Amino acid sequence: MTEEKSIPEKIGPYRIERELGAGGMGTVYYGRHETTGLEAAIKVLPASLAREEGFVYRFKREIDALRKVKSPHIVEFYESGVDDDISYYAMEYVDGETLTARLTRERRIPWRDAIDIALQVCRALKSAHNAGIVHRDLKPSNLMLGADGAVKLTDFGVAQVFAAGQLTMPGGVIGTAEYMSPEQARGKRATKRSDVYSLGAVLYVMLTGRPPFTGQSALEISQKHIHNRFDSPRQYVPELPHWLDEVVCKCLEKEPEDRYPDAHVLSLRLAEIPKKVDYLQEHESFEFGSGEGTAETMAESTSGASSMGGEVGGTLMRDLMQAHLDEQRAATPVGSLLDNTWVLVGLLLLLILGGVFWYRSRDESPEELFARGEKLMQRSAGSAWEQARRECFLPLIKKDPETWKPRVDGYLDQIAAYAVEREVRGAQSTRTGDSAADEVDRFLQRAFEQQDEGDYAAAEATLTALNVLMESSPRSDQERRAVRHLLREVRAQAEDPPDRTEQYPFLRTSLERAEELQLAGEDEQALRIWESVLALYGDDPGADGLLHEARRRVAAAPAAPEAGASD
């Protein structure tokens, strides 16, 4: 047991000086390259875990993810290897502390500092997403705060690599319960918007000192992410800018399409907030009568206003009202008409509508129309996508199909697939009056279930047959496009299957806990967890890939219960 706890002198070309931390996926050491003297953090996968295929796969995936991503806000990957049966990789050493450590010390972080940290995380996520990586486990302990103020994202051990253009492909997910998106808690596909949700939860805990949801177990917290509403940050910290409160709440929307589409858009919204607050502070003396703006941005600035005597405010208001009445008495009929608020509002609306009509009536060039459609497609899936289809892509095909069909077909297929999947996966079908449509929905539902279960060959067979029938039947173009898009998606998944074993965050947390107990010499407690896991998940084919080690441990430990019984 003391040998397991001892620090190795050397791993690969690195001289080890001290341990930085340990967890369920291994230990991280601080070391220096024996030739160059380069400081590094060296993460190792213990030999006990290296025997398990799932842990080895996860470790290799972390290495692959770090290799692919280059960003000043993501720890840099140096090299990897195997030394005396110990798998390791070396990465950039960050001289600082985790965000968890700072939160433990300070409890809450000033909102400007929180925005600065979040902006740097947004840049890290943008680089990861551009490289085809969804982090899936964004949390304070995975964010390193350097002594120079730089923020570095670490731990890509559960990151998901998705194919370019296949952002919606399913695959089991894992994460830490307090920061896990609702779709991850359901075991559904993770996308860029899942990372946006997790960053929203990190922002929430930075601003309020508590996560959006708490509970007695990971399962309870996960269910709250799916079903419950959280208290807005301003309920705990009223002095927060209301714009920041709105941004955090939008990040934490239950439905992915209701969140910001990606980290870049989120960063733009966050960067605006300090500028708005500074502007209001600089011009608050001119914001007569708009106390709401000051109160909602900086609560402390209201103290100065409250120190003014009530008599001064009352006298000022009385004089203003008297002057207003005098003006009304002296006004001409035209002046009175133009001084009417509702008349002015009506004129303003007419002016706006006229401008919109003029703008819409002018002819957009095909390239402008296509650019507008692409811009709409960058927004959340839903009404913006339908607007792009109706106002941009379909008119382009109608105007010049030879030129534009190849360029817009991919977008139209994506829109169709989203619409059909949203309808079919809904609680109730909207096509109950059409038996033929109900049949198609039934086959699509079967394909989605096969896809969710990881049976991509069966899903491909279902969609291939359905595609043949739909091509020779008078189905809607939208449905045909959706089936073609889904068929391409399933074929891509069949060639490069996602890791579905991570659909079970509670199971994986339990197994990691058992490994930690076993490494600590608590064999009896570890065995109880393995036995309980088999009792709960033994008949679940989707979890089978995670249960090999538990079965081996239980089968290899018949003597332990006998020894316990004799005591």
Three-state DSSP at 144 gives strand
> Both tokens of residue 95?
């001289």
Q: State how far the Cα of 505 lies from the Cα of 185, in Å rounded to an integer.
A: 8
Q: State how far the Cα of 517 lies from the Cα of 533, in Å rounded to an integer.
A: 15
DSSP 365: P
Q: Are 262 and 380 in contact (CB under 8 A)?
A: no
Q: Are 240 and 111 in contact (CB under 8 A)?
A: yes
Q: State how far the Cα of 264 lies from the Cα of 274, in Å rounded to an integer.
A: 17
**Could you tell me if residue 6 is left (phi over 0), alpha (psi between -120 and 50 degrees) or otherwise beta?**
beta
Query: Active-site residues: which are they?
Result: 137
Q: Mind giving me the DSSP string for 30-64?
A: EEEETTT--EEEEEEE-HHHHTSHHHHHHHHHHHH
H-type alpha helices, 363-455: 366-377, 383-388, 394-399, 401-424, 435-452
Q: Are 31 and 11 in contact (CB under 8 A)?
A: yes
Q: State how far the Cα of 314 lies from the Cα of 320, in Å rounded to an integer.
A: 10
Helix (H) / strand (E) containing 463: helix 456-471
Q: State how far the Cα of 97 lies from the Cα of 431, in Å rounded to an integer.
A: 56
Beta bridge partners of 19: 29
By C-alpha distance, which of 115, 123, 150, 151 is closest to 247? 115
- Long-range (24+ apart) CB contacts under 8 A made by 537-544 are 537/504, 537/507, 542/453, 542/454, 542/500, 542/501, 542/503, 542/504, 543/501, 543/503, 543/504, 543/507
Q: State how far the Cα of 146 lies from the Cα of 150, in Å rounded to an integer.
A: 5
List Cα–Cα distances, 55 to 34, 120, 133, in angstroms.
29, 30, 19
**Could you tell me if residue 136 is left (phi over 0), alpha (psi between -120 and 50 degrees) or otherwise beta?**
left
Residues 6+ apart with CB under 8 A from 242: 234, 296, 297
